[in-house]
Structure 1
Amino acid sequence: MFNRGVKMHETYDLQFGPKPRKRINSRELLELIFGYVARMANEKNLDNLLMMMADLGKDMIVADRCTLWLLDREKNELWTRVAHGVNEIRIPANTGLVGYSIDHDQPLFIDNAYNDHRFNPDVDKKTGYRTKAIIVIPLKNSEGETIGAYQAINKMTRSKKFTSKDLEYLTLAASYSGKSLEAALLNKEIEETQKEIIFTMGEIGESRSKETGNHIKRVAEYSKILALKYGMDETEAELLRIASPMHDIGKVAIPDSILKKPGKLTDEEFDTMKTHTQVGYNLLKGSSRRILKAAAIVARQHHEKWNGRGYPDGVSGEQIHIYGRVTAIADVFDALGSDRCYKKAWELDRILNLFKEEKGNHFDPVLVDLFLDNIGELVKIRDRYRDEIGEK
């Protein structure tokens, strides 16, 4: 729930739970706020930002737990996560104390949740946790629209009760957090828009050579699988999955007479075809956005070869960016297994034999081994996104 509980190093009484802690003084409060604000100002990842905000609220008012809920107006739901990598928890927007606070646009300040008819005890029953004191503060954006809520649970001082000062402090945290969240959500929306644009432009590039949208879907999924097997973390592997559909965007500049030629290209025609890598790179290189920067690398380097005999730059080995090396295998695997205007699809055994022969020549040998070791997973992707009969 982006909820932050007791830290492992804190003193703990086995019979009564965490030992009471002291309220922080004014100097400590300022140090705390400035410390969090500095970190939050540089954080672009929404999940990380929400975790920091939950920590800030918990530490400011010495609460046992602090949760950030966000309002999804389209689905009329509140959502949160327990921790990184855990699926979202979604509940109807009018549920419980948080829903009430948002719906009525007012903070809630409750000493004993079980004495309040709006409280839903189901979560306590499932977890064994005992909720008592609660504060809920609506979160607003710069236009005054409610976008979610802070929820703090169980005061950890000896009194075990929240005070009006706690309400004031959490309101301060909510005010700053609302503005930071607005910026982060806008950034996330921009990234989602980029993803759509990238995929659409990738489809345009492929459709000119009579490829289907499923080709770039398959290449994207193959790329992510190989990236994860290679050791990239989930974030970077997902970045490559999003960027890889742009590998052939430069084909928009290649004449149809070459792009759709059913037979072998002449040397002059092939030289023209090779320019699609540089064209694609030039289209994308000016962006400061990480997705488009990754796409620029993929567009330029997916035809480079491990032995240095590829194009456009003739770089070799690890001089080729890992994005280019991964996409090269994903693209060739899919191209060989698909019907093209100049050839019929190859059988799987023939494809695997080619990769074995080209290990250390065309392709990164480490990636070839990973490709061969995980071919079953890749074939499942191919079957899932198989071209429909009659697609062109």
Structure 2
Amino acid sequence: MRYDNVYKKLADFGRDLLNDTSYEKGLPRIAKYAKEVIGAHRCSIFINDLQKGELWTPLSDGIEKIIIPSDKGLVGHTIRVKEPLIENNPYSNPHFLSDIDKESGYVTKNIVTAPVFNSQREIIGVIQLLNKEEGFDKEDLKFMIFFAHYVSGYLELMNLWLREDSKNK
């Protein structure tokens, strides 16, 4: 497996991540690591707001905050089917939201997504990587599943801190 050395470095990454107690510090670390390991050009981390029924990005490379209904796009499809996905031809997929590319000027060539589950097995987010030179494959999907599980505790904790912070304001 080509990711053998990556998993060894994951322990160091995890220790560093636990020192980041804010989205502003932790999410860029998650995105950078995922992009480096897989060789993707961009990473977006979507948070699933169950109360509002929307997905939003506290982190999205190269674009302002994205907010979409939680049942739209390939990320919404990932939530509906509760499975990761690879799409190496997104413009042919009816779930793909090409409007985001139109607004940003970015051209999405391929996508891999993985749902992030909390401790109650609810989907609290989705990690999405875009544009790997040779396209995404099954090995990338396996890593994304593992990585989503690995960062799920951090994202769940961040969501709790955000809710508590908003209650105190």
TM-score category of the 2 structures, normalised to the smaller one: 0.7 to 0.9
Equivalent position amino acid for 1:179 in 2: G
What is the match of residue 129 of structure 2? 152
What is the match of residue 181 of structure 1? 155
Alignment of 1:1-392 (within 5 A): 26-27=4-5, 29-82=6-59, 88-156=65-133, 160-193=134-167, 195-196=168-169
User: Quick one: structure 1 residues 108 and 44, their matched pair in 2 at CA, closer, same or farther if it must change by over 3 Å?
Assistant: same
Listed one character per residue, the Cα deviations across residues 13-63 of structure 1 (whole Å, up to 9, x for unaligned) are xxxxxxxxxxx7522x13542332121111111232222222222122111
Q: Assess if the C-alpha contact under 8 Å between 1:46 and 1:185 holds in 2.
A: no
Listed one character per residue, the Cα deviations across residues 83-125 of structure 1 (whole Å, up to 9, x for unaligned) are 69x9743111111100111122121111111121211111222
**How many Å separate the matches in 2 of 1:40 and 1:179?**
11
- The alignment-based identity, stated in percent, is 31
Report the aligned-residue RMSD: 2.3
Listed one character per residue, the Cα deviations across residues 226-250 of structure 1 (whole Å, up to 9, x for unaligned) are xxxxxxxxxxxxxxxxxxxxxxxxx
User: Quick one: structure 1 residues 111 and 88, their matched pair in 2 at CA, closer, same or farther if it must change by over 3 Å?
Assistant: closer
What is the DSSP-based 3-state SS (H/G/I as helix, E as strand, rest coil) of the residue aligned with 1:118? coil
How far the C-alpha of 1:82 sits from its partner, in A, is 5.0
Q: Assess if the C-alpha contact under 8 Å between 1:60 and 1:170 holds in 2.
A: no
Which structure's residues are more often strand, by fraction? 2
* Greater C-alpha Rg: 1
Gaps of 5+ in 1: 1-23, 197-392
**How many Å separate the matches in 1 of 2:163 and 2:96?**
33
What is the DSSP-based 3-state SS (H/G/I as helix, E as strand, rest coil) of the residue aligned with 2:127? strand
What is the DSSP-based 3-state SS (H/G/I as helix, E as strand, rest coil) of the residue aligned with 1:65? strand
**How many Å separate the matches in 1 of 2:155 and 2:3?**
27
**How many Å separate the matches in 2 of 1:163 and 1:80?**
25
What is the DSSP-based 3-state SS (H/G/I as helix, E as strand, rest coil) of the residue aligned with 1:30? helix
Which structure's residues are more often helix, by fraction? 1
**How many Å separate the matches in 1 of 2:103 and 2:159?**
31
Equivalent position amino acid for 1:91 in 2: I
How far the C-alpha of 1:73 sits from its partner, in A, is 1.2
User: Quick one: structure 1 residues 53 and 95, their matched pair in 2 at CA, closer, same or farther if it must change by over 3 Å?
Assistant: same
Equivalent position amino acid for 1:39 in 2: D
How far the C-alpha of 1:188 sits from its partner, in A, is 2.7
What is the DSSP-based 3-state SS (H/G/I as helix, E as strand, rest coil) of the residue aligned with 2:102? helix
Equivalent position amino acid for 1:147 in 2: I
What is the DSSP-based 3-state SS (H/G/I as helix, E as strand, rest coil) of the residue aligned with 1:189? helix
Q: Assess if the C-alpha contact under 8 Å between 2:43 and 2:60 holds in 1.
A: no
User: Quick one: structure 1 residues 113 and 87, their matched pair in 2 at CA, closer, same or farther if it must change by over 3 Å?
Assistant: closer
Q: Which has the higher contact order (CA 8 A, sep 6+)?
A: 2
Q: Assess if the C-alpha contact under 8 Å between 2:47 and 2:58 holds in 1.
A: no
How far the C-alpha of 1:165 sits from its partner, in A, is 0.8
Q: Assess if the C-alpha contact under 8 Å between 2:46 and 2:126 holds in 1.
A: yes
How far the C-alpha of 1:71 sits from its partner, in A, is 0.7
What is the DSSP-based 3-state SS (H/G/I as helix, E as strand, rest coil) of the residue aligned with 1:70? strand
TM-score normalised by structure 2 residue count:
0.88
TM-score normalised by structure 1 residue count:
0.40
What is the DSSP-based 3-state SS (H/G/I as helix, E as strand, rest coil) of the residue aligned with 1:114? helix
Q: Assess if the C-alpha contact under 8 Å between 1:137 and 1:174 holds in 2.
A: yes
